[in-house]
Amino acid sequence: MTNLVQNLEQCWYISPPWGQRIPPLLVSLLERVYVKSAKAFGYCTGVEWSEHGWKYEINACNTNITVLGSELIGTGNLQLEAFRQVAAGIAKPAFRLGELVEFRFHGDGPPVRIVQGIQLINDAWFYSVEWMSPAISERGDEVFTSKDSIARVSDYDLERVRL
């Protein structure tokens, strides 16, 4: 029985939450965007999967705004300031959305995870991975996931899966 639970848990961590194919992003990281609800321009500093689709982190007016794609209008242009920062020393993200990685601090569960988000924080890239598996009801008819099951970790915490 333990083997079945371990196999189920391993499948959970590597199953993409968005289904078979990763949905395209509406805007690219560091792209200049217009946020309709804030009536402001900014640039995309992160993206993370949610139950409603991609959530975008937008830096506008020296504050971060988290919105769904329906709130954005992309310009197709990289924000000049953000582009200069990347060119001046911020490397491109080490991992891609949907990529399988090994999570170094995986606790008791299997180490392989899927990258569900990327965010630029203080000039460094962080990656969203699921660190906690869901709970199953005692009768086995419900699965409970926590909104706190996603961790933002650095590339130091992850290793590329070698196939």
Six-digit token pair at 21?
Answer: 């194919």
Global pTM reads 0.84
| Tens digit of each residue's pLDDT (9 = 90 or more) over 132-141 | 776 666 676 6
- pLDDT tens, residue by residue, 45-72: 999 999 899 999 999 888 899 999 999 9
Task: Tell whether the model's pLDDT for residue 7 goes beyond 80.
Answer: no
